[in-house]
Amino acid sequence: GRARPSHSEPRGRDGRGGEEEEMEGWHPLYPGHIPTSPLQKALLAAGSAVMALYDPYRHDMVAVLGETTGCLALPNLRDKMKNHPEGYRILQERPRIRLSTLDMARLQGLPDGSLGREYVRFLEDNKVSPDTRMPPKFVDDEELAYVIQRYREVHDLMHTLLGMPTNMLGEVVVKWFEAIQTGLPMCVLGAAFGPVRLSTRKLQVLATELIPWAIRSGLNASCVLNVYYEQRWEQPVESLREELGIFPPP
């Protein structure tokens, strides 16, 4: 599933060779894919990390950081999915969480407390949309690109399951949970440096209550990418929390 260089011309006639010519011979693996060398990925990672720390709401920079630093975590997540019946089905069927795939009227009509109803309530209350999740560009493996796409599209469901809003405090708590669950350096960075923008009072609540709870839940819970959420809309949120091993929010 990896992109492979074309060898139709062994060396550049103008004396060029090596990395520059090799990159010209690479071909996209999926729509929007941009082939990049290890050096280019390192530069993108460094630049996106600086911008994401400066402005945590720069979702485009957070996305680039996740793709360029996830070379170890993404294969591990894919293997967890392949070794789980529900996760394996997700990899095979490639479901997407988009407004075009969601029956919003049906979800709004589900009982209070159900996953679908609470997910829509979260989207409405926080004025967010699943369509804002950026497609992958810099992951050089088509299957791993889907894994990070899936992670992005279930992020709002993590907020729903954890009962966390989209303010900075809520995002930091979710990042701690996701860092434990996924091992993605992007999540670790957000968990570690996100709190610097919080007030002293919020930092105290974060350190004494929310972070310990997020860490315990992340360690105790089964892999959240192994849930076919689209087939669980009717399930009560509390039931799904219990099934996954997420402790009730403090």
Percent of the chain clearing pLDDT 90 (strictly above) = 68
Q: Which two tokens stand for residue 11?
A: 């060396």
Which pLDDT value is given to residue 162?
Answer: 97
User: Is 17:11 a contact under the CB 8 Å cutoff?
Assistant: yes
Q: What is the mean pLDDT of the chain?
A: 88
Q: What is the value of pTM for the model shown?
A: 0.85
What's the rounded mean pLDDT across residues 30-34?
Answer: 91
Q: Is the pLDDT of residue 15 over 60?
A: no
215-249 pLDDT per residue, tens: 999 999 999 999 999 999 999 999 999 999 999 98
| Cα 182 from Cα 76, distance rounded (Å) | 8
Long-range contacts at 187-194 (CB < 8 A, ≥ 24 apart): 187/66, 189/49, 189/52, 189/53, 189/65, 190/52, 190/56, 190/62, 193/53, 194/56, 194/168
71-121 pLDDT per residue, tens: 999 999 999 999 999 999 999 999 999 999 999 999 999 999 999 999 999
What residues contact 76, with CB distance under 8 A and at least 6 apart? 183
DSSP count for the chain of H helices, then E strands:
14, 0
Q: Within a domain: residue 148?
A: yes
Q: Within a domain: residue 10?
A: no
pLDDT category of residue 25 using cuts at 50, 70 and 90 = low
Which pLDDT value is given to residue 39?
Answer: 93
137-181 pLDDT per residue, tens: 999 999 999 999 999 999 999 999 999 998 989 999 999 999 999
Query: Distance from first CA to last CA of the chain, Å, rounded?
Result: 43
Which pLDDT value is given to residue 9?
Answer: 40
43-67 pLDDT per residue, tens: 988 998 888 777 776 778 888 888 8
Q: Is the pLDDT of residue 12 over 60?
A: no
Q: Is the pLDDT of residue 250 over 90?
A: no
pLDDT category of residue 27 using cuts at 50, 70 and 90 = low
User: Is 74:126 a contact under the CB 8 Å cutoff?
Assistant: no
Which pLDDT value is given to residue 19?
Answer: 46
Which pLDDT value is given to residue 169?
Answer: 93
The number of folded domains in the chain is 1
Partners of 35 in the β-ladder: none
Q: Within a domain: residue 28?
A: no
Q: Within a domain: residue 124?
A: yes
Give the three-class secondary structure for 92: helix
Q: Within a domain: residue 31?
A: no
Q: Is the pLDDT of residue 24 over 70?
A: no
Which pLDDT value is given to residue 112?
Answer: 97
Q: Which domain holds residue 84?
A: 38-244
What is the Cα gyration radius of the chain? 20
pLDDT category of residue 16 using cuts at 50, 70 and 90 = very low
Q: Within a domain: residue 196?
A: yes
Burial of 26 (0-12, 13-18, 19+ CB in 10 A): middle
Burial of 65 (0-12, 13-18, 19+ CB in 10 A): buried
172-212 pLDDT per residue, tens: 999 999 999 999 998 998 898 888 888 999 999 999 999 99
